[in-house]
Chain A
């Protein structure tokens, strides 16, 4: 289990290779990469700054991974989330899940991402031509997290 909050970029290939080498029981690895868009809610985004709650962030993500482990067969999992100022096309977040088979790897990866969006204490501020604005939470993200409760 691994959680990293960092300013630096990440290399998905290197992270997957490291996970794969570490465990010969792994038969499936799924990953998700979140990327900064240049348009949000109709406005051009020049840069985006991500703030977080140091300490709680790591704890909250570790808890989400622990929940995923309780529901699916997860052999290994990694979450990297960037903070600080990012530009469009930059990578923001990486989730990698390893399992014996693909079903559990796909589901756990999606679950971790849905819960991260609604529970991990990060906040985005966009700089647009009209100035800075804090991004509002989306109802669609709440709904995406809700569906795992059934």
Chain B
């Protein structure tokens, strides 16, 4: 058995910005993480399985950044109940 979470549901808030928000047609959602999804990379794979625009935008080759609780983190970052997880394209301010 691969590692899994405990019995309590793990709820996270997901945010999408800019081009990604438009492509997915949503900027925000609440998600109960499946027990097998432990990390940011796992979440991305899980979201890509929704198909259509999700499969395209969340695909491995896509240049996406991600933040957990408003800090940019690496793909192996673990996820916990109550986390705010944001996906977005490379930034273009200034």
10 tightest Cβ-Cβ pairs between the two chains A and B: A122-B93, A137-B90, A123-B18, A56-B70, A117-B94, A134-B19, A135-B92, A124-B92, A116-B94, A120-B93
Q: Which of B18, B93, B94 has the most CB of A within 10 A?
A: B93
Interface contact B94-A113, CB-CB below 8 Å: yes
Interface residues of B (CB under 8 A from A): 15, 17-19, 22, 67, 70-72, 86, 88-94
Chain A hits for B72, CB < 8 A: 119
Main secondary structure of the interface of A (DSSP, over half): mixed
Pairs across A and B, CB under 8 Å, 23 listed: A53-B17, A53-B67, A53-B70, A53-B86, A56-B70, A56-B71, A92-B93, A116-B94, A117-B91, A117-B94, A118-B91, A119-B72, A120-B91, A122-B91, A123-B17, A123-B19, A124-B93, A134-B18, A134-B22, A134-B92, A135-B92, A137-B89, A141-B94
